[in-house]
Structure 1
């Protein structure tokens, strides 16, 4: 009984509590209805928009606070209302703004410029990070020098000095000459530019060799470059194609070797004193012919006979060793053959003091960088180092400066710029119609004509097609035998053949002075190769023509580079190229360097460089290949 009584008491308490809750809810409902009626009465009168927003905000805050009417809640509500009112008063765009439409437009432009500037700053920081990651941690130095901590602080001293009459002239005169010929020289204690070969103190035999080639005055790169090299300075030479960079390093090495031979003749198995490294066999052979011609004319004038040799792959080593064993002064070589001869102890660089890397950027792009380091490791003392190219990116310039001793950098025009003596014509042509257009283009100028294609298969197909059409043509590419390559170039240079079809193996450094027309059957992978291709014509002050076939299959980044290159060279830009627009075109000239600092392309930045992407892909594929081979060996 006691338990039943306790249960009834609990039930009664629960029911009483429930009645109190229901009564309170009904009272609140009636109260809300009263508020609604008062609000309806208030809405009959006009209330400004700001006041209605403030009242609405207060009602929302009141409902969130659960009806608490303490002082702190009221203060917070008032503060929030004031903040909302201030935000409403800060409206600057639209019909409710406190500014005129003109002021609003100026404000929008200002905000847009600030946004663009912020984007540019972010892009520059990103590019700096990319360049920092690309910078080589290992300098272009030998292993022994790095191990022993050997660091040269002063350049090699030579006996050559500029004429005293030139030295007496003020520095303003030298600067005026540089500005007149568009020469930009950077470095310490730069020698004065010389505008005559006689002022460079060349012998009569060397002058005769130049006159035979109808070279009477030095080009801008030669005016500043030859005195710098003769002074013993390390040099980075950058000039447009066909500007005579070969003579800048060929003439001084002949002078140095003549001086060494007169003071102490070279004996058997001695030498070389000068070493010139080229990226391709054709370029090495051409450079050797230039040096041999100068040495022959010097010998005819009564000077000692200098011995030079070209060490290239694909040819017998016997003839090269005979010249080397008799005592060689100058070696012109490709990296592969030279490394082979050094490893076999057939060549020694104990007395070598002169090193030149022709088309230095091309060698690094082809993967010869490690071979060059190994070659430098065979030097026994300080050397004078020279680097030359027409398209040397800033990355390679900075990398080279870390290894050179107080270098002088000479720029004639922008690095990677096209020669102004070449008339560039761009034609839109479908891939299947390019062969027919090629025959039409060949009729625009008399032979010889040079035709470039990207793939070896295209070179063979074009060569066969031209032969079927009765055109005297030859072809070269990396897949052909070296004897066949030498034969094709020789026949083309002598004029026995009218057309040379080639891959980019013939685009760097080769000198065909009589070529009036270069045809690009397709666009190369990057704009640097395009500049080198069209640079085979319009050389030594002559005018040339370059015809390029493009279509919708071409990479848009290369087309944008081509567009800006044409604009820079003041060439006619086709309408289909003008229609190409880049989202980042207004950011192309931001920073110290316009365009890409990796490949010198003007139509993109380094953040979307096609050449950098291609190099990264090749590196990744090589790493995967090496990893696969390593795993395969471990399995065995």
Structure 2
């Protein structure tokens, strides 16, 4: 499936259906258990003859019983719901790679299940664990989580997570990212537990990603080795799926639904590039932002680059919002909210926002730095041209990044000509160059002043803690 094609609905609807089916089954079982008791009670009651009526009944007024019946039915429904809630197991678990994606999935499920009474809870890092424990104590049917915090709650033996044998539906979103080596060791622990001590043959496992079947060309060092055939088998579409199924402990003969297009990117996406020197990227970025005002996401490969660009563009009076992994969760959610509410704003972000985040009407995606792998390019570009809309993705390619750019083209079966150069207005750039040069000088000065301030502050605190006198020569400010 392409990014922005509606994958989230593909697992949200089955999740809600699973919960509603479980409720029907639970109510049916409860009725069967209660039927014999009701029959015994009815047989034990000694009813008066039909022609005899209690004297008290003659004196009473004829009162309509519709209200009494309504109240009784409401009480019955309420008691049924309370009984069901007290025995409620966890029925659905959604695992996502990022907290932002987890919040987004929860928001979508809550909107879709608005009139069903289905309860959901979110379990992610960076937020109060105590509050999340209270939410789990309400016994929600569905939990959306990141692997780290979820495994922490399981290890704490939270009551609602003790019997995962009842789990009917497990969803792993952005699965190719989740099972990468060196990432999410907690996911491996969860999957191992669900396939051994908490296994359930009725459980349905759903796996989703826009880049599950993206096949890379083998590097020369593997082509030259003896195990070339094995490496080639693992690098095919079927080989990658087989490897994924083994890691996720899926049963044999799963149903595979591959809706991938020949091109990995969306139909309405316009792909462009600009070949430039690394030192000219700031000027080109500023020129593009000024000449094409729109809701734009600018992706970089590092947090340091995001911070530097934020300072530079702030000096150039460009409205920017930052998002990266070093921000606390409230700041990250606030940044996404502010960006979604602004019509012409720039979000400077790392790849923390590359996967799954659905922000309406993002018109431009700019890769300030060429992504290291093809999957990242597909996911970054998928933030625009979503659900049939149009959008522009622009790569700024320096000579040092040319090798990565060619790898991406090769993996996506694109010729370099298929990513034509975006024409630039040289006169417009010449007019902006002086401003950018001045902003560079101010930004560098601010950076070194901050470095000095942090350095001196650390030394003063250390000297105070050790109760020693600090030599002024050790301070950068002097």
TM-score for the superposition, normalised by structure 1? 0.49
Alignment of 1:483-562 (within 5 A): 483-495=330-342, 498-562=345-409
Cα 1:516/1:326, change in 2 over 3 Å: same
Report the Cα distance in structure 1 between the residues aligned to 2:410 and 2:200, rounded to whole angstroms: 48
Report the Cα distance in structure 2 between the residues aligned to 1:269 and 1:483, rounded to whole angstroms: 34
Partner of 1:257: 19
Partner of 2:279: 432
Report the Cα distance in structure 1 between the residues aligned to 2:135 and 2:342, rounded to whole angstroms: 30
Cα 1:572/1:566, change in 2 over 3 Å: farther
The answer to whether structure 1 residue 387 and structure 2 residue 234 are counterparts is: no
Cα 1:531/1:512, change in 2 over 3 Å: same
Cα 1:509/1:415, change in 2 over 3 Å: farther
Partner of 2:453: none
Alignment of 1:170-209 (within 5 A): none
Cα 1:531/1:462, change in 2 over 3 Å: same
Query: What is the Cα deviation at residue 392 of structure 1?
Result: 1.3
Does the Cα contact within 8 Å between 2:263 and 2:412 map onto a contact in 1?
A: no
| Pick aligned residue for 2:148 from 326, 336, 346 | 336
Does the Cα contact within 8 Å between 1:449 and 1:498 map onto a contact in 2?
A: yes
Cα 1:374/1:286, change in 2 over 3 Å: same
Pairwise CA RMSD: 2.4
The answer to whether structure 1 residue 397 and structure 2 residue 241 are counterparts is: yes
Alignment of 1:64-83 (within 5 A): none
The answer to whether structure 1 residue 306 and structure 2 residue 153 are counterparts is: no
Does the Cα contact within 8 Å between 1:269 and 1:325 map onto a contact in 2?
A: no
Cα 1:549/1:252, change in 2 over 3 Å: same
Partner of 1:278: 96
Report Cα offsets for 1:347-376 as digits up to 9, x if no partner. Answer: 332321110100001112263454223213
Alignment of 1:581-596 (within 5 A): none
Does the Cα contact within 8 Å between 1:361 and 1:396 map onto a contact in 2?
A: no
Report Cα offsets for 1:416-461 as digits up to 9, x if no partner. Answer: 8122221011001211111111112113544311010001100111
Partner of 1:361: 176
Partner of 2:167: 352
Query: What is the Cα deviation at residue 476 of structure 1?
Result: 1.2
Cα 1:285/1:367, change in 2 over 3 Å: farther
Query: What is the Cα deviation at residue 244 of structure 1?
Result: 0.6
**Higher deviation after alignment, 250-259 or 450-459:** 250-259
Cα 1:444/1:414, change in 2 over 3 Å: same
Partner of 2:136: 324
Query: What is the Cα deviation at residue 548 of structure 1?
Result: 1.0
Alignment of 1:576-615 (within 5 A): none
Report the Cα distance in structure 2 between the residues aligned to 1:557 and 1:497, rounded to whole angstroms: 31
Does the Cα contact within 8 Å between 2:271 and 2:420 map onto a contact in 1?
A: no
Cα 1:344/1:555, change in 2 over 3 Å: farther
Cα 1:469/1:340, change in 2 over 3 Å: same
Report the Cα distance in structure 2 between the residues aligned to 1:413 and 1:317, rounded to whole angstroms: 38
Does the Cα contact within 8 Å between 2:371 and 2:404 map onto a contact in 1?
A: no
Report the Cα distance in structure 1 between the residues aligned to 2:289 and 2:124, rounded to whole angstroms: 33
SS at match of 1:466: helix
Report Cα offsets for 1:302-358 as digits up to 9, x if no partner. Answer: xx4000011110001233222211121111100100000000012332321110100
Query: What is the Cα deviation at residue 485 of structure 1?
Result: 1.0
Does the Cα contact within 8 Å between 1:268 and 1:325 map onto a contact in 2?
A: no
The answer to whether structure 1 residue 240 and structure 2 residue 240 are counterparts is: no
SS at match of 1:321: helix
SS at match of 2:418: coil
Partner of 1:49: none
Cα 1:369/1:316, change in 2 over 3 Å: closer
Cα 1:279/1:572, change in 2 over 3 Å: closer
Report the Cα distance in structure 1 between the residues aligned to 2:265 and 2:333, rounded to whole angstroms: 28
Does the Cα contact within 8 Å between 1:446 and 1:516 map onto a contact in 2?
A: no
Does the Cα contact within 8 Å between 2:295 and 2:363 map onto a contact in 1?
A: yes
The answer to whether structure 1 residue 465 and structure 2 residue 312 are counterparts is: yes
Does the Cα contact within 8 Å between 1:416 and 1:528 map onto a contact in 2?
A: no
SS at match of 2:85: coil
Does the Cα contact within 8 Å between 2:91 and 2:141 map onto a contact in 1?
A: yes
SS at match of 1:350: helix
RCO comparison, higher one (Cα < 8 Å, 6+): 2
Query: What is the Cα deviation at residue 380 of structure 1?
Result: 3.9
The alignment of Structure 1 onto Structure 2 pairs a total of residues equal to: 331
Unaligned runs of 5+ in 1: 1-238, 576-636
Larger radius of gyration: 1
Partner of 1:174: none
Cα 1:555/1:345, change in 2 over 3 Å: farther
Q: Which runs of 4+ in 1 moved over 6 A?
A: none
Query: What is the Cα deviation at residue 256 of structure 1?
Result: 1.2
Report the Cα distance in structure 1 between the residues aligned to 2:190 and 2:262, rounded to whole angstroms: 27
Cα 1:255/1:414, change in 2 over 3 Å: same
Does the Cα contact within 8 Å between 2:364 and 2:384 map onto a contact in 1?
A: yes
Partner of 2:113: 295
Partner of 1:124: none
Report Cα offsets for 1:9-39 as digits up to 9, x if no partner. Answer: xxxxxxxxxxxxxxxxxxxxxxxxxxxxxxx
SS at match of 1:553: helix
Query: What is the Cα deviation at residue 472 of structure 1?
Result: 2.1
